[in-house]
Structure 1
């Protein structure tokens, strides 16, 4: 089982970006700028979100989990499923998970949250 700790949400920043876009202070091109790998990860590894994209209102909005950490080696900086994240943790690894919202249709993307994934019972940082 995965124990997530050190959870940081970026939902307020998301709301501010969307408000700035709706009021015309930010151009769509500046917020719909997902790179190819992020869009591909959303299409093939992401999970559907039950709300439409806040920009294009298409129902293709997806959630992608990116993992980062020295203990992951070459796997650091890649999109992973929750099942893969759980396997990494079962192997005793501790790493950061970024939850990113992505629309493959218009390339909207925003970091929603970040947390540290660790084996259950190690939330104090000890292994």
Structure 2
């Protein structure tokens, strides 16, 4: 048995009530960068908070960076989650791990909701792009996968 056999899978990610993919926006931006219509400096501009969250809380995508080409093996291209919502007070606008998000979802009161922004970040060139917006409303334990 190899080292990978000992790894525990991440808990299931709850199914959002509504999800908005930003994949077409991502493709458009990448095409424009490759065509020279948008300078690389405009898309490789992740600030310290975004890169730190990707380094600490992010999960490697297993893909090469679409801008600088950093290899998948380096783990430089990661996704990280940022949460937003008036119901969560000071936690709104912060990066969180999947387990923290699950806990926050479980503690929502009736009528509360949060939005999770899934962001792709390259630790090498600072490329960052919103991939998806997931909206969650007051979830029951069944919806959380427990």
Which protein has the bigger strand share?
1
Say how many residue pairs are matched. Answer: 122
Residue 95 of structure 2 corresponds to 79
Gaps of 5+ in 2: 1-12
Relative contact order higher in (CA < 8 Å, ≥ 6 apart): 1
Deviation at 1:22, TM superposition (A): 0.7
Take 1:7 and 1:120, find their aligned partners in 2: how far apart are those partners? Answer: 18
Alignment of 1:1-127 (within 5 A): 2-58=14-70, 59=72, 60-92=76-108, 94-118=113-137, 119-120=139-140
Unaligned runs of 5+ in 1: none
Contact 1:2–1:120 (8 Å) recurs in 2:
no
Cα distance per residue 1:49-68 (max 9 Å; x no partner): 01011011113100000000
TM-score (normalizing by structure 2): 0.78
> Cα offset for 1:82?
1.2
Highest CA radius of gyration, 1 or 2?
2
For 2:89 and 2:54, locate their aligned partners in 1 and report how far apart those are by CA, in whole Å. Answer: 22
2-11 or 103-112, which moves further after superposition? 2-11
